[in-house]
């Protein structure tokens, strides 16, 4: 059976789609056959970040409605033959997704794939609910700012109470924290919440910290998941996240500013 992973948050613009693309690519590069699904019906950005927007013929809604089968809609990634993308529809609204339809698609994918990554839309509307309902694991993506953390805290309540696992009294969804757009120098100057502040509010297992990096925008514009940019801080951070998710122990990086690191190195406080 596949492991269903939802990438979610309460707030938009925190990096969910970037994260979904990077995590899915990282899992696939590790040899795990992986599918990544865009649940953001009406907008559809995942195919742009994956660089396959011109190859979309059928989409998630077509499959749910029986207008195409999964093999017709799935797009194999051009950089990794272990990764497949199921794009969202740009011409339908979010009501086109149904709980039963999503369940059928995930069940069919589970026969062939090891991991299924669900790229959730922001907020708590229908698309986000359907993306997380069948999840086994949740990557809660947040920026180090009060509104983002507060909205993520609200999302945790929904994950704990409205998922299939909650309804069937199964083991709860495993929840992980992914802190994105982190800038230690701005934390030092009081412009951002610190990692400790965020963890105190959310009390989640920290899977990784993604530093603020121009390489994220560059990779997105090029249609390439940033994890493939192995020289960038963000690419390395996402590689660490995938490794930790798979059970490897790796130290957390990109937490301290260079000034703070040097101060500690030379015995300062």
The β-bridge relationship of strands 83-86 and 75-76 is: antiparallel
The rounded distance, in Å, linking the Cα atoms of 145 and 194 is: 9
Flag whether 269 is marked binding: no
Question: What pLDDT does residue 21 have?
Answer: 97
More confident residue, 167 or 269: 167
Could you tell me the CA-to-CA distances from 79 to 84, 146, 147, 218 in Å, in that order? Answer: 10, 37, 36, 17
Contact 149, 202 (CB under 8 A): yes
Segment (H or E) for 178: strand 174-182
Q: Any idea which of 60-69, 89-98, 162-171, 208-217 has the lowest mean pLDDT?
A: 89-98
Question: What pLDDT does residue 242 have?
Answer: 98
Question: What pLDDT does residue 208 have?
Answer: 96
* Edge-to-edge strands, sheet with 83-86: 75-76, 83-86, 34-38, 115-119, 3-8, 137-142, 174-182, 205-211
Flag whether 8 is marked binding: no
More confident residue, 203 or 265: 203
pTM of the complete model: 0.92
Question: What pLDDT does residue 259 have?
Answer: 55
Flag whether 34 is marked binding: no
What CATH number belongs to 3-266?
A: 3.40.50.300
Q: Any idea which of 5-14, 57-66, 120-129, 172-181 has the lowest mean pLDDT?
A: 120-129
Mean per-residue pLDDT, 172-182? 96
Flag whether 17 is marked binding: yes
Question: What pLDDT does residue 266 have?
Answer: 44
Contacts of 203 (CB under 8 A, 6+ apart): none
Flag whether 66 is marked binding: no
Strand partners, 53: none
Question: What pLDDT does residue 261 have?
Answer: 46
Contact 10, 155 (CB under 8 A): yes
Burial class of residue 268 (count of CB atoms within 10 Å of its CB; 0-12, 13-18, 19+) = exposed
Flag whether 231 is marked binding: no
Question: What pLDDT does residue 267 have?
Answer: 55
Question: What pLDDT does residue 126 have?
Answer: 84
Tokens of 247: 């059970």
Q: How confident is the model at residue 268 (pLDDT cuts 50, 70, 90)?
A: low
Flag whether 190 is marked binding: no
Q: How confident is the model at residue 265 (pLDDT cuts 50, 70, 90)?
A: very low
Flag whether 94 is marked binding: no
Q: Is the pLDDT of residue 218 over 80?
A: yes
**Segment 3-59, tens digit of pLDDT:** 999 999 988 889 999 999 999 999 999 999 999 999 998 778 899 999 999 999 999
Question: What pLDDT does residue 124 have?
Answer: 77
Percent of the chain with pLDDT over 90: 83
Give the Cβ contact number of residue 49 at 10 Å. 27
The rounded distance, in Å, linking the Cα atoms of 71 and 94 is: 23
Segment (H or E) for 70: helix 70-73
What is the DSSP secondary structure assignment for residue 11, as one 8-state letter?
A: S
Residues in the chain: 269
Q: Any idea which of 56-65, 123-132, 187-196 has the lowest mean pLDDT?
A: 123-132
Mean per-residue pLDDT, 226-236? 96
CA-based nearest residue to 204, from 153, 150, 144: 153
């Amino acid at each position: 059976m596949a492991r269903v992973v939802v990438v979610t948050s309460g707030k938009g613009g925190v990096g969910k789609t970037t994260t979904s693309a990077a995590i899915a690519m990282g899992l696939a590069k590790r040899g795990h056959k992986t599918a990544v699904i865009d649940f953001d019906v009406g907008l559809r950005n995942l195919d742009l970040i994956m660089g396959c927007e011109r190859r979309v013929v059928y989409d998630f809604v077509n499959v749910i409605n029986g207008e195409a089968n999964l093999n017709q809609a799935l797009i194999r990634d051009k950089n990794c033959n272990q990764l497949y993308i199921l794009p969202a529809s740009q011409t339908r609204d979010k009501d086109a997704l149904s709980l039963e339809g999503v369940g059928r698609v995930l069940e069919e994918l589970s026969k062939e794939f090891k991991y299924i990554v669900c790229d959730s839309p922001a907020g708590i509307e229908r698309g986000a609910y359907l993306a997380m309902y069948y999840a086994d694991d949740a990557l809660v993506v947040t920026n180090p700012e009060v509104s983002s953390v507060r909205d993520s805290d609200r999302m945790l309540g929904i994950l704990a109470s409205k998922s299939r696992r909650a309804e069937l009294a199964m083991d709860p969804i495993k929840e992980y924290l992914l802190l994105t757009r982190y800038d230690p120098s701005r934390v030092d100057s009081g412009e951002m919440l610190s990692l400790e502040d965020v963890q105190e509010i959310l009390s989640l297992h920290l899977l990784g910290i993604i530093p603020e990096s121009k390489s994220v925008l560059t990779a997105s514009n090029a249609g390439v998941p940033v994890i493939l940019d192995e020289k960038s801080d963000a690419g390395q951070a996402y590689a660490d996240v995938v490794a930790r998710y798979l059970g490897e122990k790796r130290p957390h990086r990109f937490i301290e500013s260079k000034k703070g690191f040097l101060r500690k190195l030379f015995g300062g406080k």
